[in-house]
Amino acid sequence: MKVSIALATYNGEKYLREQLDSILNQEFKDFILYISDDGSSDGTLKIIDEYAAKDNRVKLFPKHEPNKSACKHFLYMLENIQSDLYLFCDQDDVWTKDHIGIFVEKYKCLSDDEKNLPVLVHSDLKIVDSDLNVISPSLFEYSHLPKNPNNRFYFQLNNVTGCACMINNELKNYALKNIATLNEKLSKVLMHDHFFATIASEFGKKIFVSKTTVLYRQHGTNVCGIGEGWNLKSFIKKIFSYSQHKISYSQHKIFAGFFAEYFKEKLPEKEYKSLISYSKLEKRCKFSRLLFLARNGFFKTGLIRSVWLCIVG
C-alpha cells in the first residue's frame, strides 16, 4: 500500500525545517514526501534541496506556474501524484511521531467494501503559537466543533483540517472526476479539505481520531488560521462585522450549488434538489429561508451558531 504526503510550500523557510524533521522522523517510515513550491523567493527551495539530498523519500515537483491559492495548489499536487493513500501537509506545523501510523492503521481496519468507498481519516489538532507554546490542547474544543456531524454540516461549516487528514484513492477519483470542470469552477470550492470532507460525508466514510496528531502553529501569517473560538465574546464581534459573515454564509450556499451539479449523477434525486434549493435560498423571504433550514437539517451545531444562522440566514 503506497502512502504519499503532499507538502505545498511558499516562502516557508522560517518553520520548514521543523516540519520536515517531524515528517522524516515518523514511526511509520514507508512513504514518499512530495513537495511543490509555489514560487518562493526566500530560502525555501535551498532547504528542500538539502533534505532531498539526504533522504530519497523527499521528491520535489518540477517548477510550475504558481497556483496562488492553497486549495488550487493541493489539488494540483493530488492530480499529479499516484498513490493509495494521500496525506496533506502545511509548511509551518509539526507532526507528532505517530501521525501517519495512526491514520494508516485506522484505514487498514476497514473492510474491503469500506475501502472501495471514498474514505477520509482525520484527527484533532493542538493549537500552538509561533514558538510551539500551547494555546489550546484541542482545536475541536477551542472551536466547539462536533466530531461526527451529519452530511448537512459541511454545507455550513467544516471540521476537517487539511494538515490533519488522509484520503484514499477512491476519494481522489471522486474529487477529480472532471478536472476541467473543477478547475473552471474552483472559486466555488471553499478549500480542498472541506471539499474532501463533504465528499466522504455524502458518499463514503469519515473516521475521526480524537488524539491530537498535529501541532497547528498560529503565527499571524497563516494562509488559513483558526480565528476565534465560538463563544459569546466572538458572537458579539461577529455582529459588528455582519456583512463579512453574510458573505461567508453566501459562499457556503454557492459551494452547495456547485457540489450538487458536480455530483449530479451520483446524488439521490432528493438530495440533489435539496442542495439546489439551499443554494438559491437567498431568493426567498426570511421566514421561508429559516423554515427550509429547519426542515432540511441545515442548522448549525451549538446554540450560539444556530442563533447566528437565524440572524444571517
Q: What does pTM read for this prediction?
A: 0.90
In angstroms and rounded to an integer, the radius of gyration of the C-alpha atoms of the chain is: 20
Q: Please enumerate in sequence order all residues whose Cβ is within 8 A of that of 304, keeping only pairs 6 or more positions apart, or say none.
A: 144, 230, 231, 232, 235
Domain CATH code at residue 98: 3.90.550.10
81, part of any domain? yes
The pLDDT of residue 291 is: 87
- Co-location of 190 and 243 in the same domain: no
The pLDDT of residue 262 is: 98
Q: pLDDT 10s digit of each residue in the chain, 313 long?
A: 999 999 999 999 999 999 999 999 999 999 999 999 999 999 999 999 999 999 999 999 998 888 889 999 999 999 999 999 999 999 999 999 999 999 999 999 999 999 999 999 999 999 999 999 999 999 999 998 999 998 999 998 999 999 999 999 999 999 999 999 999 999 999 999 999 999 999 999 999 999 999 999 998 665 555 655 555 565 555 555 545 555 677 899 999 999 999 999 999 999 999 999 999 988 888 888 888 888 888 866 665 566 656 665 5
The pLDDT of residue 269 is: 97
CB 176 within 8 A of CB 75: yes
Nearest C-alpha neighbor of 224 from the set 312, 153, 139, 150:
139
Cα(230)–Cα(210) distance, integer angstroms: 20
- Co-location of 190 and 284 in the same domain: no
Domain extent for 251? 232-312
227, part of any domain? no
- Co-location of 103 and 184 in the same domain: yes
Which of 188, 217, 246 represents a domain boundary (last residue)?
217
What's the per-residue H, E or C state across the chain?
A: CCEEEEEEECCCHHHHHHHHHHHHCCCCCCCEEEEEECCCCCCHHHHHHHHHHHCCCEEECCCCCCCCCHHHHHHHHHHCCCCCEEEEECCCCEECCCHHHHHHHHHHCCCHHHHCCCEEEEEEEEEECCCCCEEECCHHHHCCCCCCCCHHHHHCCCCCCHHHEEEEHHHHHHHCCCHHHHHHCHHHCCCHHHHHHHHHHHHCEEEEEEEEEEEEECCCCCCCCCCCCCCHHHHHHHHCCHHHHHHHHHHHHHHHHHHHHHCCCCCCHHHHHHHHHHHCHHHCCHHHHHHHHHHCCCCCCCHHHHHHHHHHC
Which of 187, 217, 247 represents a domain boundary (last residue)?
217
23, part of any domain? yes
- Co-location of 306 and 176 in the same domain: no
- Co-location of 165 and 307 in the same domain: no
The pLDDT of residue 242 is: 47
Which of 217, 242, 258 represents a domain boundary (last residue)?
217
- Co-location of 13 and 96 in the same domain: yes
207, part of any domain? yes
- Co-location of 49 and 145 in the same domain: yes
How many separate domains does the chain show? Answer: 2
- Co-location of 78 and 213 in the same domain: yes
